[in-house]
Amino acid sequence: MTHDMSIRGLSPKTKQAYLGRMRDFVKFFMTPPDQLGLKHIYRYQVYLSEERQLSYSFFNQTVCALHFFYTITLDRGWDIKRIPYNKKQKTLPTVLSKQEVVEFFHALDGKIKYYAIAQTLYAAGLRISEALNLTIPDIDSTRMLIKVSYGKGGKDRYVMLSEKLLLVLRKYWQALPVKPSTYLFPGRDPSKPLHPRSVQCEFQRAKQRTAIRKPVNPHILRHSFGTHLLEDGVNIRKIQLLLVHRSLNTTEKYTHVAQNFINETTSPLDTLDT
């Protein structure tokens, strides 16, 4: 299975996820997977959905792994419709107001590395994995661009480098006692990037020092980036390209939370002559 994934160019993160889901499946039955069939998969899906009550994303990731293993690696001619996906729940993203973003940044004062990471996530709309995998040459201050490598789906892209962000990154760089040679935000091992969990924990501590009632995490800063661009009048197609959304429908969800899209609509009650 590992070789099959490598041949098809699946990302390291996807490989790790698929192998993890297959290990869980095998552990559940304690039987080699080539001795299991559709009836076993059905039982396992019932267990995941009814007993474990896992999120649709985890459930569907398991389905993807099973599809790959049985139809690609074992080349079984199954109708994959017999291994169904879970229906995705249509939920709206949590978005911070601009004032809340500023308040959150202030809560990270004195934590220069995490302050710089938070600013990078919001200024460029990056995923946490994309931000933490930035290397020093990725920051192009001449062209005012950031090169984003190893994005979702293995897609590289360029995003804008904010002038304010550049100043923050320079301040961060000057404060480092030892300059990293590879990653912009290295972990304890300078040859590896900082772990996402470290960022999430620091963000939670910072959030507790604010009056913000909403959850705050790296992905919410990305949602806030997209929503605030929409509120500022940026074309939705451009936002789609910046966020690397495969479908415009994904980007359009920000119209449901953008304040001006909602507030500019007059309630019919206000038009009544009462």
Q: Active-site residue numbers? A: 127, 152, 219, 222, 245, 254
Looking up tokens 């308040």 gives: 103
Upper half-sphere CA count for residue 72 (Cβ side, 13 Å): 15
Upper half-sphere CA count for residue 265 (Cβ side, 13 Å): 8
Neighbour-count burial of 124, counting CB atoms closer than 10 A to its CB (0-12 exposed, 13-18 middle, 19+ buried): buried
Q: Which residues contact 4 (CB under 8 A, 6 or more apart)?
A: 68, 72, 73
Q: How far is CA 71 from the centre of its chain?
A: 28
Q: How far is CA 30 from the centre of its chain?
A: 33
